[in-house]
């Protein structure tokens, strides 16, 4: 049975809409069961806690040693600690009130000295996870394999110049897919942190891309073989740790998938902090992936626009959460994906309660975003303006163009008949003001 020993001073986080500024251990906006635009908030938001940042993270950074000393990380063997950690996590999920979590294979169970030992560790730990899932109702949003931390992967996993390393990654993914099936994961994520290069001089890009594509094809084949139903997701990131990662951004991944005939088998897991590192606006890859029918899930976090590395901060900006939720609602929701908090408390936020405060702040930020987005969509002012703006494509020559039936010749003829088009204001500031109205 689930131990409740780590967060002893904290009970189930309540919804207290009228709480004051000092009250940071309650939801002021997120009301899980409240129905908005036809679904509960819980169903729209599908929050997930990520296991590595919140339960494995130590606070170490490239310039400093660990600062986060967690009770569950101390005492006993590696497996003992792994179990304590899992109990702590389920205590946290339960008290916070989220239905999903995500993990890497190597977060869940310690790496062994051989593949077989690592797999046995994983078997034992996932037995416990399955039991705790059943007890609490918490589910796996996605599983992923850590193919980047072990030194063997320093030159890449599926893109390693040595096929022996690729083989190791393949074995690890095979096990990861088995685990996904066992735990009923709704998605499976590939993040290619070492799939790229530091120097073009020592890299055969063409070969590496082909190997990566073939690696994915093997994963698809095995998934189908074992009857695993979950959605495959690729998570783009432009750089870091590599100088360049092949999965640079949404469009890069879409181009890659289509080139290798893989686009029917994958969707994207978009992380806005990665999007901004690629030089785009916060919401950009979420919007683009959605437009191409490829938005599968969101790693809801944020960076600082003035920083050039991944800070994985908790998303607190209401403007951003409003745009994200507007996009999500417009595509009919994220299911089977969700909003996974791929975010970590700052290494200076050393208290256990900071873990709660951070998640609550972010969940409230998304709840406000959802409420705003619903108002925007239901009032229809912005969508009405947009419809008006593109009206010319619904009839006549515009309709022919929209349907792919036009020719240059007839469009030239149209101009000869109708002359210069009139200038129409884009009215960006009006749209911005109206958007602000809903914040």
Told to judge if 104 belongs to the known catalytic residues of this protein, a careful annotator would answer yes
Nearest in space to 149 (alpha carbons), one of 247, 278, 56: 56
CB of 133 to a second copy, least distance (A): 25
**DSSP state letter for 1:** -
Please give the backbone phi and psi of residue 71, each rounded to the nearest 5 degrees, phi first.
-60, -30
Nearer to a second copy among residue 131 and residue 331 (C-beta): 331
CA distances from 178 to 107, 167, 280, 404 (A): 16, 17, 36, 45
Nearer to a second copy among residue 20 and residue 332 (C-beta): 20
**DSSP state letter for 150:** S
Nearer to a second copy among residue 159 and residue 340 (C-beta): 159
Nearer to a second copy among residue 1 and residue 429 (C-beta): 429
Nearest in space to 265 (alpha carbons), one of 292, 297, 295, 231: 231
Following CA atoms 285, 388, 39, 235 in sequence, which dihedral angle do they give, to the nearest 10 degrees?
-10
CB of 174 to a second copy, least distance (A): 4
CB of 397 to a second copy, least distance (A): 6
CB of 173 to a second copy, least distance (A): 6
Among candidate residues 29, 53, 87, 104, the one labeled active-site is 104
CB of 100 to a second copy, least distance (A): 21
CA distance 317 to 54: 21
Other CB atoms within a 10 A radius of the CB of residue 416 amount to: 8
CA distances from 337 to 7, 230, 237, 264, 327 (A): 28, 10, 18, 16, 14
Neighbouring residues of 38: CB distance < 8 A, sequence distance ≥ 6: none
Nearer to a second copy among residue 84 and residue 344 (C-beta): 344
CA distance 343 to 311: 8
Neighbouring residues of 70: CB distance < 8 A, sequence distance ≥ 6: 6, 55, 85, 88, 352
CB of 212 to a second copy, least distance (A): 11
Do 272 and 285 meet the contact criterion of CB atoms below 8 Å apart? yes
Neighbouring residues of 205: CB distance < 8 A, sequence distance ≥ 6: 197
Nearer to a second copy among residue 136 and residue 331 (C-beta): 331
- Buried b / exposed e along 58-77 (16+ C-beta atoms within 10 A): ebeeeeeeeebebebbeeee
CB of 132 to a second copy, least distance (A): 26
Do 183 and 129 meet the contact criterion of CB atoms below 8 Å apart? yes
Please give the backbone phi and psi of residue 64, each rounded to the nearest 5 degrees, phi first.
-155, 155
CA distance 374 to 34: 13
Token pair listed for 361: 């702040």
CA distance 366 to 36: 13
Nearer to a second copy among residue 133 and residue 300 (C-beta): 300
Other CB atoms within a 10 A radius of the CB of residue 320 amount to: 20
CB of 16 to a second copy, least distance (A): 12
Residues annotated as catalytic (active site), given as ranges:
104
């Amino acid at each position: 049975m689930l131990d409740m020993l780590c967060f002893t001073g904290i009970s189930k986080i309540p919804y207290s809409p009228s709480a004051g500024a000092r009250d940071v251990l309650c939801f002021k906006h997120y009301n899980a069961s409240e129905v908005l635009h036809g679904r509960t908030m819980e169903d729209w938001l599908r929050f997930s806690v990520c296991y590595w940042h919140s339960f494995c993270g130590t606070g170490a950074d490239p310039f400093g040693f660990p600062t986060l000393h967690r009770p569950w990380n101390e005492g006993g063997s590696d497996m003992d600690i792994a179990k304590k950690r899992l109990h702590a996590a389920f205590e946290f999920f339960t008290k916070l009130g989220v239905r999903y979590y995500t993990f890497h294979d190597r977060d869940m169970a310690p790496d062994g000295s051989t593949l077989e030992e690592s797999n046995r560790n994983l078997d034992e730990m996932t037995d416990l996870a399955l039991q705790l899932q059943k007890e609490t109702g918490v589910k796996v949003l996605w599983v992923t394999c850590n193919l980047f931390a072990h030194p063997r992967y320093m030159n890449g996993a599926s893109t390693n110049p040595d096929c022996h390393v690729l083989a190791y990654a393949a074995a690890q993914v095979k096990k990861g897919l088995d685990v996904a099936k066992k735990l009923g994961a709704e998605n499976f994520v590939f993040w290619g942190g070492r799939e790229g290069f530091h120097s073009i001089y020592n890299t055969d890009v063409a070969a590496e891309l082909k190997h990566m594509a073939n690696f994915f094809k093997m994963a698809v084949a095995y998934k189908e073989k074992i009857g695993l139903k979950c959605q495959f997701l690729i998570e783009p990131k432009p750089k870091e740790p590599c100088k360049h990662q092949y999965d640079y951004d949404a469009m890069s991944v879409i181009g890659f998938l289509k080139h290798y005939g893989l686009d029917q088998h994958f969707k994207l897991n978009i992380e806005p902090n990665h999007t901004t590192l690629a030089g785009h606006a916060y919401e950009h890859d979420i919007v683009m992936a959605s437009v191409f029918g490829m938005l599968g899930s969101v790693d809801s976090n944020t960076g600082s626009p003035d920083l050039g590395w991944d800070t994985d901060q908790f998303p607190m900006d209401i403007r951003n959460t409003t745009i994200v939720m507007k996009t999500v609602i417009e595509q009919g929701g994220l299911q089977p994906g969700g909003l996974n908090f791929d975010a970590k408390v700052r290494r200076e936020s050393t208290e256990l309660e900071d873990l709660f405060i951070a998640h609550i702040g972010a969940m409230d930020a998304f709840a406000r975003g959802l409420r705003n987005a619903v108002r925007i969509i239901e009032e229809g002012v912005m969508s009405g303006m947009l419809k008006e703006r593109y009206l010319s494509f619904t009839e006549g020559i515009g309709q022919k163009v929209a349907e792919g039936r036009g020719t240059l010749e007839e469009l030239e003829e149209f101009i000869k008949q109708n002359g210069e088009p009139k200038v129409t204001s884009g009215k960006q500031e009006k749209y911005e003001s109206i958007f602000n109205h809903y914040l």
